[in-house]
Structure 1
Amino acid sequence: MERAILVGCELPKVSEEHFYYSMLELGNLAKTAQADVVGEVTQKRERIHPATFLGSGKLMEIAAFVEEMDVDVVLFNSELSATQVRNIAKVIDARILDRTQLILDIFAMRAKTREGKLQVALAQYQYLLPRLSGQGISLSRLGGGIGTRGPGETKLEMDRRHIRQKMVDIKKQLDVVVKHRERMTARRNDQDIFRFGLIGYTNAGKSTLFNRLSDAKTLEEDQLFATLDPTTRKLGFTQGYTALLTDTVGFIQDLPTTVVAAFRSTLEETANVDVLLHVVDCSNPDYVQHEQTVLGLLAELEMQHIPILTIYNKADKQLPYFIPTQPNYVQISALEPSSQAILKEHMLWEIKQIWQPYIVTIPVSDGHALYQYKQKTVVIEETFDEETESYQLKGYQARKETRK
């Protein structure tokens, strides 16, 4: 494990509490990336130093700490510019990484599907392109022979051209994957299947809930970004109806714009659902900020119009001062078996709010129609009339006009 120290700059516009939890989260990100955190250095400033991020005295202090503790990497709790990285590296003899690079590194570890790997590569290239810095004339293709006179093409220009070409190639491959998912989505729409999407702050317990509800085998870990690739599974209810449930990548505060842009196609898988299940860890002291981060990103992704059921998870460990902040919510612990039934009742209620009620009479001879109704609609009441030898079903079915 690489030895790392955390570095943060506390600005006047940020509360002490928010800054504390932000640094705590940086430490958790470092541990997820398999780093051994050996120290933390912070500084209060009126504004970020444009050239070195922190003051020169604080950088010297970090340099001494790095040498004394044999530190391999210094992790900054903000996004650094190329100039800042270059200037910091002149003082500190260790690798300099910012928060964005750390998140992208974890994403690269977690990506399993072809699409996930492509999206991570695209985000890394988008981050790297404006940060490429050449070393002047020494990198030019200049020599003393024929055909080598003139400015030539600098290594910096070659690198930029190479990266731009890579990005074009990746985008073409992603387009193919996205079109395939769109065909899958169109097929699901034709089947009138109700869709739920799990969203929430990273490590809120989405994958644990997903596994308990759908008998899936998604990775469950007490780490940030345990799930990166979206997974969709069938979700059965006691009445016989089957819906779809999608698990997605967790959100995080200050999620880099390059990451949001690269993962837009993945997150759009969740945009095509009927109800969002927003999982919140009610044992986390910073749960309100986590809620606001997720709701802010939903607005950025133009998904705020989708109905939301908030699931306050980890109720067995909830904070003594916890107060629900969302009007439509349920409080459970994903690890308790009884929670599944409670949550499914709330999910059925959500279906009934969106789908339309129906009453239908089916003759006993039409077993296929009876089977179809039980599979594709929510049947809440079933009676058999002996005189007419028919079944009367009451329930809820998809509103045809809302399907695209």
Structure 2
Amino acid sequence: MLVRTAGARIVGEVTQRRERPDPGHFVGEGKAREIGQEATELGADVVVIDHDLSPAQVKNLEKAVGFKVLDRTEIILDIFATHARSRQAKLQVELAQLEYTLPRLRGQWQHLERIAGGRGGGGSAGTGGGSGPGGGAMSGAVGGLGTRGPGEKQLEVDRRMARDQIVKLKRDLAEIDKRKTREVRGRAENFTVALVGYTNAGKSTLMKRLTGADVLIEDKLFSTLDTKTHTWTLDGGMRVLISDTVGFIRSLPHHLVASFHATLEEVVYADLLLHVVDASHPDAEGHIAAVDAVLEKLGCADKDRLVVLNKMDAVRNRVGHELLRSKHPGALEISARMNNGLDVLRDAVGARLERTHVDVAIDVPAGDGRLLAYMMEHGRILERTLDGETWKIRARMAPWHASRLPRNGAPDAPARTLRTAARSKKR
């Protein structure tokens, strides 16, 4: 799927099982020659290894197979470069590509022959087999597989200039990171939800169903690279902020997580994670484990979350699905595409939202419709009785919004801060 998303046609696959990868060629040297022969017979242009390779392994493999060799990270970066839209995403992709490329520079930029080699019209690309879960496929390239990004720029720079560029990119991203952090933290008054999940799990489709937002929906890996935040109105009129995030993938290199840290801020500061799973995928459990691993890297392993089993309309293996459900008994079953199960999801998120609320009792002048509307928008009215010219109201609201209510029903009283409200509650 990674190779196809990058724009290539797979023409063959080779798999090798080993106790451990060969330090020189990743696959055995004999297997490497076999891959090269098969790639030649199939008319392939490129060999892709579904695993990360060291610079020495790439060099040795290319010599043995007689083809340009790309590894898993290079394919992922190629896809990222295709889908980057915002300045932040483009900087993140360029940083990740340079950090990946720098230790692989050989001689007078001989690596650029590899970077430039796949440009131009379509052809065939071969992919070699890996060890254990690794492996690959012979594929036909449609365009520049593994060639997008800052490659052209590197023609004029040397190692020192590449390092300088990395420093500059990190500095620019640090400024964006600061602004992003301030922006995300500035939403403290709102309950925030982040959609997380394995790539192509249906997060963007779910976002569109829940919010009506005009978001890109494609049956491709990593079609969402820039984080988008929208307002989601729950039953009763309460509103939360919900963000779509870049899809995760198994064996996501640590440096990619670091490069996209600013993009993943939404996950770090969210009140609730909706872990969206493609329930129809035969390796759904493996996808869940891969997402959990990335959340662990982000320090979010213990964050409150709901598992959402999506694409229920496409589930065919009922026995496998029942096993999946048994491992995640609290999971919700939906089909975002068919608009099924979303009411249950809204109720579940509403219940999580209410857990954070506090009880409020306040007298509101009968003519103060603005204050009453504020309470209805940001909380749930439990009881409302009219006593002369005053509404006596009991409600449940988020602490931040409760802290903004006037004291003793006086409309012009200063709002209490969250800290003051917390101290008052402790007393």
TM-score by length of 1: 0.83
Alignment-mate amino acid for residue 256 of structure 2: V
- The counterpart of 1:292, out of the listed 271, 289, 292, is 289
Report the CA distance between 1:228 and its aligned residue: 0.8
Distance (Å, rounded) in 2 between the aligned partners of 1:264 and 1:183: 14
Is 1:246 matched with 2:254?
no
Instruction: Output aligned runs, 1:235-314, within 5 Å.
Output: 235-314=232-311
Distance (Å, rounded) in 1 between the aligned partners of 2:50 and 2:96: 19
Aligned to 2:343: 341
Is 1:32 matched with 2:5?
yes
Aligned to 2:393: 392
How much identity, in percent, do the aligned residues show?
39
- The counterpart of 2:18, out of the listed 23, 45, 53, is 45
Aligned to 1:207: 204
Report the CA distance between 1:231 and its aligned residue: 0.6
Aligned to 1:173: 172
Is 1:77 matched with 2:75?
no
Aligned to 2:357: 355
Aligned to 2:31: 58
Is 1:30–1:36's contact at 8 Å kept on the other side of the alignment?
A: yes
Distance (Å, rounded) in 2 between the aligned partners of 1:284 and 1:349: 29
Is 1:66–1:93's contact at 8 Å kept on the other side of the alignment?
A: no
Is 2:385–2:392's contact at 8 Å kept on the other side of the alignment?
A: yes
Is 1:95 matched with 2:81?
no
Q: Deviations over 1:92-145 (max 9, x none)?
A: 232210001000100011111110010011111111111112269xxxxxxxxx
Report the CA distance between 1:209 and its aligned residue: 0.6
Ranked by relative contact order (alpha carbons within 8 Å, sequence separation 6 or more), the top structure is 2
Change in Cα spacing, 1:355 to 1:258, as seen in structure 2 (3 Å) is: same
Alignment-mate amino acid for residue 347 of structure 1: V
Aligned to 1:105: 78
SS at match of 1:235: strand
Is 2:363–2:390's contact at 8 Å kept on the other side of the alignment?
A: no
Change in Cα spacing, 1:305 to 1:357, as seen in structure 2 (3 Å) is: farther
Is 2:200–2:220's contact at 8 Å kept on the other side of the alignment?
A: yes
Aligned to 2:102: 129
Alignment-mate amino acid for residue 11 of structure 2: V
Distance (Å, rounded) in 2 between the aligned partners of 1:44 and 1:185: 46
Distance (Å, rounded) in 1 between the aligned partners of 2:213 and 2:389: 43
Q: Deviations over 1:41-97 (max 9, x none)?
A: 111223211111122221221111222222111110111111111111112232210
Report the CA distance between 1:211 and its aligned residue: 0.9
Report the CA distance between 1:339 and its aligned residue: 2.6
Alignment-mate amino acid for residue 86 of structure 1: K
Tell me the number of residue pairs that the alignment of Structure 1 and Structure 2 aligns.
Answer: 355
Distance (Å, rounded) in 1 between the aligned partners of 2:25 and 2:294: 30
Aligned to 2:406: none
Alignment-mate amino acid for residue 320 of structure 1: R
SS at match of 2:13: strand
Runs of 4+ in structure 1 displaced over 4 angstroms? Answer: 386-389
Alignment-mate amino acid for residue 392 of structure 1: I
SS at match of 2:63: helix
Distance (Å, rounded) in 2 between the aligned partners of 1:369 and 1:135: 70
Distance (Å, rounded) in 1 between the aligned partners of 2:210 and 2:179: 26
Is 1:308–1:328's contact at 8 Å kept on the other side of the alignment?
A: no
Instruction: Output aligned runs, 1:142-161, within 5 Å.
Output: 159-161=158-160
Distance (Å, rounded) in 2 between the aligned partners of 1:253 and 1:338: 28
RMSD: 2.3
Bigger CA drift: 47-56 or 32-41?
47-56
Aligned to 2:122: none
Alignment-mate amino acid for residue 275 of structure 1: L
Is 2:356–2:398's contact at 8 Å kept on the other side of the alignment?
A: no
Distance (Å, rounded) in 1 between the aligned partners of 2:257 and 2:221: 16
Aligned to 2:187: 188
Is 2:180–2:265's contact at 8 Å kept on the other side of the alignment?
A: no
Report the CA distance between 1:384 and its aligned residue: 4.2
TM-score by length of 2: 0.78
Report the CA distance between 1:185 and its aligned residue: 2.2
Aligned to 1:162: 161
Unaligned runs of 5+ in 2: 110-153, 401-417, 423-427
Aligned to 1:141: none
Report the CA distance between 1:389 and its aligned residue: 4.7
Distance (Å, rounded) in 2 between the aligned partners of 1:378 and 1:338: 27
Distance (Å, rounded) in 1 between the aligned partners of 2:62 and 2:342: 52
Bigger CA drift: 336-345 or 263-272?
336-345
Alignment-mate amino acid for residue 76 of structure 2: I
Aligned to 1:373: 375
Distance (Å, rounded) in 2 between the aligned partners of 1:335 and 1:235: 18
- The counterpart of 1:328, out of the listed 306, 330, 341, is 330
Distance (Å, rounded) in 1 between the aligned partners of 2:81 and 2:194: 24
Is 1:358–1:397's contact at 8 Å kept on the other side of the alignment?
A: no
Bigger CA drift: 68-77 or 52-61?
52-61
